[in-house]
Amino acid sequence: MSAIDEETHDRVIGWFALHARALPWRAPGTSAWGVLVSEIMLQQTPAQRVAGPWAEWMDRWPVPASLASASTDDVLRAWGRLGYPRRALRLKAAAEAIVEEHAGIVPADEEALLRLPGIGSYTAAAVCAFAFRQRTLVLDVNIRRVLARHVDGAAQPSGHDSARRRSELWRHVPEDAGRAALWSEAIMELGALVCTSASPDCGGCPISESCAWLAAGCPPATAARRSQPWEGTDRQCRGWLMARLRETDRLAMSDIVWPRPDQLARCIASLAADGLISIRDETLTLGS
């Protein structure tokens, strides 16, 4: 596999300069904490849904110490309808660790970031790149898809990046740290806006001339991707319960009506086990 050349880097970065979305966490002066908050919120949630809650969150908790001292109830209410509310608890736990272990300052070291609660390899790399402008390997679903198509000629990336695969992908990252960080931002945006999963706009792609997938006639993925159901799932039930609890201080078990009592009981138990709700005297409240 040959490395992506500088001309390709230039084209993607030039496209980004003209077409990048004006997302609030990209504004000049955004703190490393603001970048970290955005990355946690953006997990499995589209950017347009995150922009408003992110701004409100940063107004309320502008530094890790302010979130660390907040109540779990307030944090879950502020998380609102972003989904997967365990992310809110992980972010609060990360803030507490930053205060206790790093004097309230988000560390600029990837290994230190990985030791924070709820921070995985992608998030640690993204914070190092986008907040501290370091050279690192940022691999989200959009970047992986663009590289799979452009370099490998595959419609979709493989399900898992092995150590060997990650070593190969490092070759495509520019050597200069600032340029590498900009490349990561740019190729991620290209995947989000142009080289999308279902409807790629190859005519609007700045690097279509050298795309292996396009040259091969855009072969389909070898295995169809399964969409995740929603109606009737535990995810729906859990989300419905959390929404009701955000609207009220407490909820009596006797007032909860759900079509499947067994599923309701299971979801209440799982929410309690995750620390998202408390059960006292047959009454539910937010937080542990």
108 pLDDT band, cuts 50/70/90, is very high
What per-residue confidence (pLDDT) applies to 228? 67
What per-residue confidence (pLDDT) applies to 225? 56
What per-residue confidence (pLDDT) applies to 1? 59
Whether residue 93 contacts residue 118, with contact meaning beta carbons closer than 8 Å, is answered with yes
What per-residue confidence (pLDDT) applies to 224? 53
Orientation angle between helical segments 177-193 and 6-19, nearest 10 degrees: 60
pLDDT, greater one: 248 or 120: 120
Percent of the chain with pLDDT over 90: 78
What mean pLDDT is predicted for residues 94-114? Answer: 98
Would you list the DSSP string of 113-125?
Answer: HHTSTT--HHHHH
Residue with structure tokens 């309230």?
104
What per-residue confidence (pLDDT) applies to 230? 77
What per-residue confidence (pLDDT) applies to 254? 86
What per-residue confidence (pLDDT) applies to 49? 94
Torsion of CA 140, 142, 148, 151, to 10 degrees: -100
What per-residue confidence (pLDDT) applies to 227? 60
Residues 147-160: tens digit of each pLDDT: 999 999 999 998 77
| pLDDT above 80: residue 2 | no
Q: Any residues with CB less than 8 A from the CB of 75 and at least 6 apart, and which? A: 67, 88, 89, 91, 92, 287
Q: State yes or no: is 110 an active-site residue.
A: no
Supply the pTM of this predicted model. Answer: 0.87
Say which of 6, 7, 39, 175 is annotated catalytic. 39
Structure tokens at 8: 């390709």
What mean pLDDT is predicted for residues 210-239? Answer: 84
105 pLDDT band, cuts 50/70/90, is very high
Q: How far apart are CA 87 and CA 90, in angstroms?
A: 5
Instruction: Choose the weakest-confidence range: 3-17, 215-229, 238-252.
Output: 215-229
What per-residue confidence (pLDDT) applies to 55? 97
What mean pLDDT is predicted for residues 70-93? Answer: 93
253 pLDDT band, cuts 50/70/90, is confident
How far is CA 110 from each of CA 70, 121, 213, rounded to the nearest angstrom?
A: 26, 8, 33
The mean predicted confidence, pLDDT, of the chain is 93
Q: How far apart are CA 26 and CA 186, in angstroms?
A: 12
Residues 158-217: tens digit of each pLDDT: 877 788 889 999 999 999 999 999 999 999 999 999 999 999 999 999 999 999 999 999
What per-residue confidence (pLDDT) applies to 43? 92
